[in-house]
Structure 1
Amino acid sequence: MLAAVVDSPGRLADVLVVRDVDGPAAPGEGEVVVRMRATTLNPSDEVTVSGAYGSRTSFPMVPGFEGVGVIDAVGPGVPAAAVGRRVLPLGSAANWQQYKKLGHAWCVPVPDDVPDEVACFAYVNPLTAMTMVDRFCRPGVRDVVVTAATSAIGRHLAELLAERGIAPVGVVRGTPGRAVADPSPWRAVIPTDEPGWRERLRAALGPRGAEVTFDCVGGGVGGDAFALTAGGGTFVHYGLLSGTPLPAECFADRGGARVEFFRLRDTVHRPGQDLPGLLAPVFAQLRRGRLHTPVGPRIGLSELPAHFRGPAVGRAGKILIDPQR
């Protein structure tokens, strides 16, 4: 079968190759083989390939934390009726290949009325956004900041907060040609490349500051957003798009905001976690036409290396990868 393989850590454009490898062995007790139908790229894939999670990443590896497929074969202990069922294969990377073997318990059934191009994006961003909003936005919260507001998860957070009557303040890099897709859920959207952006953010929030800040950037922008989060407020740090950690002062106990690290992995891998129950609210939102991810280029698995080496300018939406070509 074809698989996208990374032999050593680095940039995807430099280290990813697609090669013909042995297909998975027959599934063992409680295992299934899933024929992948669609997968995609997330920042978590790029960070993992970079080697940033060295303690839990071994090379060579097949990336890809998100995707949808169909159970093709089952091992002992798995009902024969599972064959042909469309699922999200969770719990590990390795979705950038034509077939993936994993435990049946990690397969979440996909409702028949949710198409592949929607189900493919149901896991990483929607589930992260829903879990964070439910956990950290208690009733009465009104002042919320979202960094990387033009990102897919930034859009999802804005949608979910709007359902609660919260108009968040968005922070963006100010990249030419990029803006929030729908400005209506936002109280304000502030580019960090403009002079005085910190003052504008402070003015948009009021003298007390943000009650909750959702940050996936880190670095100096994350540090500035932390400084404008109210004492007693919550600074939720769930990503590192800048590649630079938060400044040390964010962790000094000086009566400021509380830093909460959020990793979707901790929720999904919690012992006894009901994965279908966890994803059920996401599927309900997707049926309502919410939390959808715009789809950009549709490419075959064999085209991935050339895609990553190509120019990034003008790419809109997330890539949809067809593992079967």
Structure 2
Amino acid sequence: MAKCVKYYDFGKPQDVLKVENRHVQNPGPGKILVRMITSPINPSDLIPIYGSYSHRIFLPAIPGYEGVGVVEEVGPAVPKELLGKRVLPLRGEGTWQNYVRASAELAIPIPVTIDNLTAAQLYINPVTAWIICKEILELKPGDALLVNACSSSIGRIFAQLSKILGFELIAAVRNDIHTKDLIELGASYVINTSESSLVNMVRELTNGRGVSAAIDSIGGSCGNELACCLKPSGIFLSIGLLSGKPVDWKIISQKGEVKLFHLRHWNKQVSVKKWHETFEQLISYISEKKLKLMPPYEHYDLIHVKEAVLAVESLDTNRGKVFLKSELLQL
């Protein structure tokens, strides 16, 4: 028997999450069974629990989109060389459990140079940021990118990618707590929107031209303001809705080209070869110290998942990630 986190109804995680015992099943053809080490708690893990994606979530469900573990068993026709290897068991079962069954061909091997806490968060934010910069926006030297809520985990990755790819990043934040960090990571400018007009500052920094692209994670009036910073041929890309309020799409569509990005859509069309190449590129940047992910903020045993979620929702986790660890393995 092993433990898993499960929810049978949509609602506040504190109300609907349950820790249950679960029989560990054999992996089956083309699958692997992974003994989990640790999983981060991301906003994208919590949003489905509240019911925002209820039309495509089948209950009961196990949360968790990413994490790292060790291959315990392999199914028929799966190379036995995978046994004992650390991998990311992605796009299979939810990762908030002791054991996860996942596709062998989609599992991402983790080199010894990368620690568990870094490996566990290699998927959602790094892949999203990389695909946006390289494939969606096709950013290059001379381009200017504006990102709001930029002190977030993904915002910090955009800052580092600006240094790697050579584009200019203007980071919009609500206070100066993380300004120094963002500049050190690669941001060209940081604008504190609680003290300065975002539109006026961007116009000043770009000599009146506006930015090539803007990435909105907030929505509402913040997203509307972001769109006003675009140059005439600029791209407005929505990747989140932290405010819970949509932007005014009529206004946005008049300011520039509108795009949306959902990682799940990219997953559906990406080849297995390209999937692995993407992770290999990101892993190489991490190994070369060109890219670093969020440090740990706090660790909780899987059985204390409600306390862990409360920490995510009530504390300033821009200082680090909250992780769920399996009691079966130590970090």
Report the CA distance between 1:195 and its aligned residue. 5.5
Task: Please identify, of 159-168 and 277-286, the stretch whose mean Cα deviation from structure 2 is larger.
Answer: 159-168
Corresponding residue for residue 267 of structure 2: 268
The 1-side partners of 2:92 and 2:12 are apart by: 20
The 2-side partners of 1:242 and 1:92 are apart by: 30
2:319 maps to 1:320 = no
Letter in 2 for 1:98: N
In structure 2, the CA distance between the partners of 1:93 and 1:10, relative to structure 1 (3 Å rule), is farther
Task: Please identify, of 199-208 and 111-120, the stretch whose mean Cα deviation from structure 2 is larger.
Answer: 199-208
1:20-31 to structure 2, matched below 5 A, reads 20=21, 22-31=22-31
Per-residue deviation, residues 118-157 of structure 1 (Å, max 9, x unmatched) = 1111111111111211121443443210111101111110
The 2-side partners of 1:200 and 1:93 are apart by: 45
1:42-121 to structure 2, matched below 5 A, reads 42-92=42-92, 94-121=94-121
Corresponding residue for residue 193 of structure 1: 194
1:36–1:324 Cα contact (<8 Å) kept: no
2:163 maps to 1:159 = no
Corresponding residue for residue 231 of structure 2: 230
Give RMSD over aligned pairs. 2.1
Report the CA distance between 1:177 and its aligned residue. 5.1
In structure 2, the CA distance between the partners of 1:34 and 1:271, relative to structure 1 (3 Å rule), is same
2:89–2:101 Cα contact (<8 Å) kept: no
Letter in 1 for 2:143: R
Per-residue deviation, residues 223-250 of structure 1 (Å, max 9, x unmatched) = 1101211121111211222222221224
- Could you say what secondary structure the match of 1:181 adopts? helix
Report the CA distance between 1:104 and its aligned residue. 1.4
Corresponding residue for residue 8 of structure 1: 9
Tell me how many residue pairs correspond in the alignment: 321
Task: Please identify, of 104-113 and 304-313, the stretch whose mean Cα deviation from structure 2 is larger.
Answer: 304-313
Letter in 1 for 2:118: V
In structure 2, the CA distance between the partners of 1:292 and 1:140, relative to structure 1 (3 Å rule), is closer
In structure 2, the CA distance between the partners of 1:149 and 1:217, relative to structure 1 (3 Å rule), is same
Letter in 2 for 1:188: Y
1:109–1:276 Cα contact (<8 Å) kept: no
- Could you say what secondary structure the match of 1:150 adopts? coil
1:231-310 to structure 2, matched below 5 A, reads 231-250=232-251, 252=253, 254=254, 256-270=255-269, 272-274=271-273, 275-289=275-289, 290-309=291-310
Per-residue deviation, residues 198-244 of structure 1 (Å, max 9, x unmatched) = 32233233322111112222221111101211121111211222222
The 2-side partners of 1:156 and 1:45 are apart by: 19
The 1-side partners of 2:251 and 2:287 are apart by: 39
Per-residue deviation, residues 1-55 of structure 1 (Å, max 9, x unmatched) = 11111221123233222222x2232222112211111111111112121211122
Letter in 2 for 1:85: K
2:10–2:16 Cα contact (<8 Å) kept: yes
The 2-side partners of 1:242 and 1:139 are apart by: 30
Report the CA distance between 1:97 and its aligned residue. 0.3
- Could you say what secondary structure the match of 1:154 adopts? helix
Unaligned runs of 5+ in 2: none
Per-residue deviation, residues 87-134 of structure 1 (Å, max 9, x unmatched) = 111114510000011221221111222121211111111111112111
The 1-side partners of 2:46 and 2:316 are apart by: 19
Give the % identical residues.
27
1:141–1:211 Cα contact (<8 Å) kept: no
TM-score computed with the length of structure 1 as normaliser = 0.91
Runs of 4+ in structure 1 over 6 Å off: none
The 2-side partners of 1:87 and 1:228 are apart by: 41
Letter in 1 for 2:243: S
Per-residue deviation, residues 150-174 of structure 1 (Å, max 9, x unmatched) = 0111111011112233331111133
The 1-side partners of 2:247 and 2:93 are apart by: 26
Letter in 2 for 1:270: Q
The 1-side partners of 2:140 and 2:201 are apart by: 26
